[in-house]
């Protein structure tokens, strides 16, 4: 358990961010291959829920 707490402490984000999922963005090379994935923790709860409703709602398809 301490290892988990130590790893989380290195993220330097507020505890309430634990329920907000990071945004993963692929990084591509010149040939279109995925070479990395960036992780962004700056999206807040309400914008995330609005994005989820826009991108994943069966009512908007």
Q: What is the pLDDT of residues 26-60, one digit of tens each?
A: 999 999 999 999 999 888 889 999 999 998 888 76
**Are the C-beta atoms of 19 and 45 separated by less than 8 Å?**
yes
pTM score of the predicted model: 0.56
- Residue 41: CB partners within 8 Å, gap ≥ 6? 11, 13, 17, 20, 22
* Total residue count of the chain as it appears in this document: 61
Whether 17 has a pLDDT exceeding 70, the answer reads no
SS3 61: coil
pLDDT of 35 reads 98
Euclidean distance between CA atoms 42 and 57, whole angstroms: 23
**Are the C-beta atoms of 52 and 23 separated by less than 8 Å?**
no
For the chain, the structural domain boundaries read: 2-60
């Amino acid at each position: 358990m301490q290892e988990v707490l130590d790893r989380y402490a290195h993220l330097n984000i507020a505890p309430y961010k634990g329920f907000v999922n990071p945004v993963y963005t692929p990084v591509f090379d010149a040939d279109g291959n995925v070479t990395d994935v960036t992780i962004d923790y700056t999206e807040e709860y309400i914008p995330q829920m609005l994005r989820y409703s826009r991108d994943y709602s069966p009512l908007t398809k």
